Structure 1
Amino acid sequence: MIRRVSHAPSLVMQLLGLLLVLFLLLPVGAIFSLGLYYALGILLVADASQLMAALGKEAGIAPALLQTPLIAIAVSALATGWGLALSLLWRPWMTGRRYLPLLLSALPFLLPRFGLGALFLLACLKLAQWGGNALGLGLVALSQAAVAAPLVAAILCLGWRRVDPAWRQAALEAGADELTIFYRLNFPTLKPYLAFGALLAMILSLGDFYLGNALSGDAVLLPGAILSGVAQNASPLYHALVALMVCVDIALIVLVTRSLNRLTHARNGFFS
């Protein structure tokens, strides 16, 4: 006797999932459309001098446009280096199932952002008062890198699983030193994972609001400037900047997706 299998529950779950995705993307699409409308209006109506005058009138935008990408690049570089160092520690910890030190080393990623910002601010309060905005922006970069480094380390741990220990042993027997082994054998395997983690760290930095506001001092970063300007409806420029930030995030997400596809193909090739 042949039993018919009903696909109704599966279709209902797929429909609910599609509705959830639309619900999550609706606010992003609405604010992006509004920002794109203002951005196109500014580009079509205003000339370069009017645009520069508008940027000068909104005192926080021009410095934020320069400082925020620079901090994101610094965070990406720091988080990649720290994540690589953490992954070297995590490998024996994971093998020995020592999860407590692993979780403690990932605490900056697990802590609430406002709590981490308060800790950095309390620890470096005197230095921040002495160093001014420059030191404040440095603290922003350090704190954001501390948050992203455990995520990069977790990604790199997946890459380390593709490194055959026999390669290192054979290279040592051939007379190679540890640095040569890393750059010649390990680094080519880890490179796509490093790129993937660096892009994620940059996305986290560009979208961070709490640490930037808590530690930047008098300096203004784009997330805080945009949120404040949109909330006060101060100028159409802020809505246009929302569209710009969304475009940058979409471009980075595309790069992350391509990196993820490369990782998937590499993993399938390794285990095939």
Structure 2
Amino acid sequence: MTRGVNPVSRWLLSCLALLLLLFLLSPIAAICGIGLYYALGIFLVADIGQLDAALGKESGIAPALMMTPLTALGVSLLATLWGLALAALWRHWLARRRYPLLLLSALPFLLPRFGLGALFLLACLKLAQWGGNALGLPLVAASQAAVAAPMVAALLCIGWRRVDPDWRRTALEAGADEWTIFSRLTLPVLKPYLVFGALLSALLSLGDFYLSNALSGDAVLLPGAVFSGVAQNVSPLYHALVALMVLVDLLFLIFVFRGLGRLNFVRNGMRP
């Protein structure tokens, strides 16, 4: 008969876990609190001029606010197409048990971001020696899409399991070609997973610091500008932007989880 955990030990472990959680969350809570206080102050006094003045003073923020969402959109589109092609390859490799190839194609998602950023940076500096500046927003979008594509492919492989193999067999017997089968039978099932993969890719792009900071060249993106401003404590505006980014991330996650819940209901033959 196993002995139960001592109540004193359980209490101490609970206190240690709570202290660790507070230690991890306190910097984020402090930054978001200052940011929300600053944003709420502007909203209450309706002083948009203060916000314009702050944006004008911090010259790197305004371009970053424009280029970062555009880069995230490009990452989302590229990762979705890349992930769709990768998912088709994964299904082929899984059927033939070629697991090393699958693992190798997923390495950009598995490697640490700073290591991946260093690898991309070294490769592009080598390209730059051959002529031209290889750094910039296209490289940031390509590298972030390389990270997000395996995640999108994994989601699509999950969705592909909902496609009944008998549908394809029946369509082939009826004379349909592979493209018609994919566009009429498979793609409608995969559409929700494509949407969720695109949203998660954009979410990863908006919050990525290592790749965007290492590969953007002269361009300024929001993660690098915000983190540098917070570290140097230049202006409360940076804290407000951190709070805004956290809020956007939470809204994205809530939307994705609610959508995945609806998919689970439909898969079980129910309606949410």
The TM-score normalised by the length of structure 1 is 0.87
What's the offset of the Cα at 1:41?
A: 1.6
Q: Which runs of 4+ in 1 moved over 3 A?
A: 6-9, 12-30, 126-129
1:137 aligned onto 2:140:
no
Q: Which one is further off, 257-266 or 202-211? A: 257-266
1:151 CA drift (Å): 0.8
Q: Residue type of the partner of 1:92? A: H
Once the two structures are TM-superposed, the CA of residue 33 in structure 1 deviates from its matched residue by: 1.9
**SS in structure 1 of the partner of residue 268 of structure 2:** helix
2:124 — aligned with what?
Answer: 124
Listed as ranges, the gaps of 5+ residues in structure 1 are: 1-5
Residue 52 of structure 1 corresponds to 52
Q: Which moved more, 1:41-50 or 1:165-174?
A: 41-50
Structure 1 residue 23, shift from structure 2 partner: 5.9
AA aligned opposite 2:169: Q
Matched residue pairs, number?
263
Aligned partners of 2:36 and 2:240 also within 8 Å: yes
The residue type equivalent to 2:104 in the other structure is: L
Q: What do you get for the CA RMSD once the two structures are aligned?
A: 2.8
TM-score by length of 2: 0.87
Q: Distance in 2 between matches of 1:225 and 1:59?
A: 10
CA gap of 1:23–1:187, structure 2 versus 1, over 3 A, is farther
Letter in 2 for 1:250: L
Corresponding letter in the other structure for 1:225: A
Asked if structure 2 preserves the Cα contact closer than 8 Å seen for 1:192 and 1:262, the reply is no
Name the structure 2 match of 1:76: 76
1:107 aligned partner: 107
What is the CA deviation profile of residues 31-73 of structure 1, one whole-angstrom value per residue up to 9, with x for unaligned ones?
A: 2222101111233346333322220110110011011111111
- Does residue 218 (structure 1) correspond to residue 218 (structure 2)? The answer is yes
Identify if the C-alpha distance between structure 1 residues 30 and 151 changes in structure 2 by more than 3 Å, giving closer, same or farther.
same
Measure, in 2, the Cα distance between the counterparts of 1:154 and 1:62.
36
Query: Contact (CA 8 Å) 1:71, 1:137: kept in 2 or not?
Result: yes
The residue aligned with 2:91 is 91
Displacement, 1:96?
2.4
Q: Aligned runs of 1:103-252 on 2, under 5 Å?
A: 103-125=103-125, 126-127=127-128, 130-131=132-133, 136-252=136-252
Q: Aligned partners of 1:195 and 1:24: how far apart in 2? A: 32
Q: What is the alpha-carbon distance in structure 1 between the residues aligned to residue 105 and residue 15 of structure 2? A: 38
Q: One-letter code of the match for 2:50?
A: Q
In the alignment, the residues of structure 1 paired with residue 25 and residue 232 of structure 2 have an alpha-carbon distance, to the nearest angstrom, of 24
Instruction: Indicate conservation of the 8 Å contact 1:39/1:243, yes or no.
Output: no
SS at match of 1:130: coil
The CA distance in 1 between the partners of 2:23 and 2:254, in whole Å, is 21
Report the residue type matching 2:69 in the other structure. P
Whole-Å Cα distance in 1 between the matches of residues 150 and 220 of structure 2?
27
Q: Is the 8 A contact 2:171 2:181 kept in 1?
A: yes
User: 1:7 deviation in Å?
Assistant: 10
